[in-house]
Amino acid sequence: MTTPSQPPFSPHHFHRITNTSNPSNPTLDVINDAGRQNSTGLLKLTREGYYSGQYWSFTPSGTPHFPPQASEPSRDTTSTSNTYRIRTWWLGPNRQLDVYEDDTSKAVLRRADATDTANALDWSVGQWEDGTWWIGNEASGVLKVLDVGEREDRREVVLSEKDEGRKTQRWRVEVIREILEQEYHERPITPTPE
């Protein structure tokens, strides 16, 4: 059993990320809109299955932990979060979870390049008191976490400011299988300043 301050995310395993706010337990996946090579990298929630877009890798980013926000109580274990680069098996190791520069309420899997800021690619992970996880990013200067939004009678992945009262920000993360593909064991691209 792991302690709340030590996320169980192994860089040697693929994980499934499932939202716990809905009885159907929708799973985080990638929209297959233009095939693997030309995918927009947009995210969706769907039923659980053994689809490569639902296999997520967490590679430690090596960046400092995000500090707790002033409004967080001292007993909150989120202050001991870790940071990761997050990728899927389907889109490969060169596509990393990121946020849109002009709309930080949306996450996308895309290729990193030298113009990216490290913050946009580093995702902080922390545990809620019920044992579920939040997964967030500070690219906008404010910690925003993966959340579920309602739009036109469908549920979609959004980023919202961290809020312990929102059950839609709670995710279960479980190991699916060992990562056997060597390219995932190499360090992900780190943007270099110009």
Domain edges within the chain: 13-66+76-183
**Residue that wins the pLDDT comparison between 174 and 186:** 174
Which residue type does 31 have? I
Residue range 162-184: average pLDDT? Answer: 94
In this predicted model, which residue has the larger pLDDT, 154 or 15?
15
Q: Which residues contact 5 (CB under 8 A, 6 or more apart)?
A: 77, 80, 127
Closest CA to 12 of 123, 178, 189, 175: 178
Compute the average pLDDT of residues 117-136: 87
The dotted CATH code for 13-66+76-183 is 2.80.10.50
With pLDDT > 70 as the criterion, what percentage of the chain qualifies?
A: 75
Q: Residue 51 — pLDDT band, cuts 50, 70, 90?
A: very high
Mean pLDDT across the stretch 32-42?
91
Q: What is the pLDDT of residue 101?
A: 84
pLDDT at 1: 41
Mean pLDDT score of the chain, rounded to an integer? 81
Q: pLDDT confidence of 70, banded at 50, 70, 90?
A: very low
